[in-house]
A and B are shown apart, each in its own frame.
Chain A
Amino acid sequence: MTPRSLFAAALFAAAAALFAVSATRLLPPAEWLSALLAPPPSDVSAMIAHYTLFPRVAVALAAGAALALSGLILQIALDNPLAEPSTTGVSAGAVLALALFGPAGLGGASQSLVALAGGLTAVGFTLALASRGGMKPATIVIAGLVLSFAASAATTLIALFNHEWMRSLFLWSSGSLRQNDWSATSNLVALLAVSWLAAAGLVRAFTLAALRDAGAAALGGDPKTIRLTGLALAAGLAALTTAEVGAIAFVGLAAPHLARAVGARTVGARLLWTPIYGAGLLWLTDEMVKLIPLDLPTGAATGLLGAPLLMALAARMRRPSLTLAPLSAPPRRRRPQWGALLVAALAALAVALVVERTADGWTLATLDQAFDYRVPRSLAAFGAGMAVAVAGALLQRMTGNAMASPDMIGVSAGAALGFLALLYVAPMAGAGAQLVAGGLGAGVAAVWALKGVGRGAPPEQPLLLGVGVASAFTGVVSFLLASGDPRMALAVTWLSGSTYQADASRALVIIVVAAGGLAAALALARPLQLLPLGSVARSSGLRVGQAQALTLALSSVLTAAATLVIGPLSFVGLIAPHAARSAGCRSPASLLAGSALIGGALLAAADWIGRVALFPYEVPAGVIAMLLGGAAALVALSR
């Protein structure tokens, strides 16, 4: 037996053994076959087994395989090892559609249809945007990410006002494999069979795609056509699977890496083995979930259990196995538009500080109580926006990956995990304890991310590690949200980035950290110029490992500080550097300064809008930033 079939056999044997344990509790093994094929209607246990136990296994296998296949095709087509089914915007679109049109308890086929429509709409948008940008992988990835952020911001906005009525949405989006009939099984099996065959027919095309655009073109393939076909197939798979089982993260990301790690090298072998590992992974995870007495959603568990696996894979990763999409946003202007950027930043701050809405209507702010609420919040927003934008610019410069954003190094997820754990364990803890818990979480994640870098690990490794931490974090969050605990309403606002808790001292801290961080980042400008160049950087005498460690450490500190003050703000960190580039900031120094201004202005404006738009209801700054910034980015992409 080859290592890959041995490993697959081990996965399935473990899952089957666990299944036997839980199934025996319900029904003696001698009755399994009759319960599967023709359960006697009078036998409650047999009926339960027939309609819930067996279809759940079938759905786990089919959904796992479908997500893995989708992830693999995306990773090949986009030439980006961080791509996964949700990269196309599928899950966020489906969740938003359900939030808008699927009132609580919709259930069944109509729920799947609404989700499918939402997922496909999102994918359609992504592809339409990407085709205008010439189907370049980086454009597709950015379009999908931006769309996902904007859609989830809209969902958060709805959830803010209906928290207790959105159990079904939270449960669905946490990815559950519970079944009450065989309909999902038959849909998924048919889908998988068709797509697998289609993928088999595309082996040659994908082999060419794996050679990158130039190589594919040289061998007579049209990279755009190959990419569009692959994307359509992968997105369709993801949309249909998500419609049936909700958002199940990680399987689609990890299964392709797993297959490759155990020896599937050629595209054909990867297309064969990746779905098999996906099926085994999801089934095993689901059987483990069933042993836990909590109603842990399977999607949350894949995030949790998947994190260590992803980290192990990252540790084994050698440089050639990861090829990253280059930054490709072409600057439309030659010189940075410093005047416009400064005016925008100052205008945003001025409006946020001076214009106010009260019970009596709009007023110009007075000094009365200014330092209790308005001033600290505006300054905290500006500072946090600056900090994450600089962190994002640093990471994108260092890795040359357009998807790199502060949450990808896991620091904001680490900080948020610490905060949430405290909220759950000791809800009475004060702001000081919250800062300590969040700081601890951020510190652990940062140390983890930095671990391998000094010793010459590739700069992408912390990104994959970070995705692991972030995936665990998403798992915990979706579990908590799905738990029905009303305290999680607070988590919903904080997790989307809110200045509600910001007081004068926190505002001061974040402004100082952001300004100091920007200064330190500017000092790293020369290494940052060279870092994306790889071997050229080394030959020019740069101590690459040291420079990477410094860059990463600085982004960690900035991200952690912003997360602790306002919450995770991944979107600003992702989008501000892109906006700065299209405003003409190309050199590392101008990119850093431009990103800082844009990030600060965006978040200060978003915070103000969030406070006044639905007065007295306060919408978190992060939500508004995602909606506004997302809309602006989508418009920019469609040009």
Chain B
Amino acid sequence: MNWTRRSVLTATSLLVGGARAYASGPRVVVLDWALTELALLLGVTPAAVAEAPYYRTRVATPQLPTAVVDVGLRAQPNLALIASLRPDLIVRLRHYGPPQARLEAIAPTLELAIYEADRRPYDRSLQALARLGDACGAAAEAPAVLARLDVTLARASARLAAHGERPVLIANFADDRRADVFGKGSLFQTAVERIGLTNAYAGPTNMWGFATLGLDRLARFEGARLVALSPGPPVSLARSALWRAMPAFHDVVTLPPVWVYGGLASMARFATLLADAIESAR
């Protein structure tokens, strides 16, 4: 019996709670970061994760223990290394990484889906959480994970309730001329709804829940609050005459790094960071 207590470094860490770490459970290799988040939320520490060192800086929370083995690129993990780890289970995201058959040749492979054409990543994350819990013998943890998620979202919502906040436009600037704007099909959309805000962008999105819009379109969302994901609008843009002429852009808030193709933990992290940013912008 091995109980771990994780230090609460950020609000997201709350989600992990005091879940049981299955040190003696199945040896799981996870090939995608959104699914790594889900495993960690369930208290399952993977034996190996693709691009593990990059997960630690780019997804950040929940924290990935340093003992977790790195199996190489997420798109092309090292199959020989995975085989040599003799895993009990491989977890992969649909549409991503090596073909199912090549992984099945090594170990039973669980294929989970989050970002799909139906643009319901939240529902699919819940299903993925349940299936992952079943496969890892951690099914009992799933309700607690969801309860902690609800608490995190409810706290963010309560902090914003008093403000009567304007609609938000969530933008990840690709360069100084266009940005990916998140909407239906993104977990950020669900987060925005769950904390009582409105997303100013209701237009079409791609399978991953965003659309790429030029400055001319961005400037049209007058009255919305522009929320930029890290690193925020490029300096050259913020200095430009057009930017200065657009009142809608003036009180942009910039959030710390959030993994845009993430899972439930990234969603909670986004909600908390958004509430922080809006509160301190007042």
Contact = CB atoms under 8 A, between A and B. Distances in A.
Interface string B211-226: 0111110011010000
A53 B175 contact: no
Interface stretch (A103-111, A198-206, A576-584, A630-638): A103-111
B96 A487 contact: yes
Interface stretch (B3-11, B137-145, B233-241, B268-276): B233-241
Given A359-B81, A617-B73, 11 more contacts: A44-B220, A47-B245, A47-B246, A105-B175, A108-B176, A168-B175, A178-B215, A181-B240, A295-B214, A489-B74, A618-B72
A490 B75 contact: yes
Interface in B223-267: 231-237, 239-243, 245-246, 260-261
Contact of B83 (A163, A369, A487): A369
B84 interface: yes
A486 B208 contact: yes
Contact of A108 (B71, B96, B216, B236): B236
A145 to B, nearest CB: 27
Interface of B: 54, 69-81, 83-85, 94-99, 101, 105, 173-178, 180, 206-208, 210, 212-216, 219-220, 222, 231-237, 239-243, 245-246, 260-261
A428 interface: yes
Nearest to B222: A44
B113 to A, nearest CB: 11
A486 B83 contact: no
A487 B78 contact: no
A179 B177 contact: yes
Interface in A472-500: 483-487, 489-490, 492-493, 498, 500
Interface in A333-372: 358-359, 369, 372
B145 to A, nearest CB: 25
A101 interface: no
A487 B235 CA distance: 29
Interface string A485-529: 111011011000010110000000000000000000000000000
A168 B174 contact: yes
B78 A295 contact: no
Nearest to A48: B216
11 contacts: A48-B216, A48-B242, A52-B214, A106-B234, A108-B234, A163-B75, A372-B80, A430-B101, A484-B180, A486-B261, A490-B96
B207 A485 contact: yes
Contacts of A359: 69, 81, 84-85
B76 A618 contact: yes
A106 to B, nearest CB: 7
Given A105-B175, A107-B176, A168-B175, A485 B206 contact: yes
Contacts of B207: 485
A178 B94 CA distance: 34
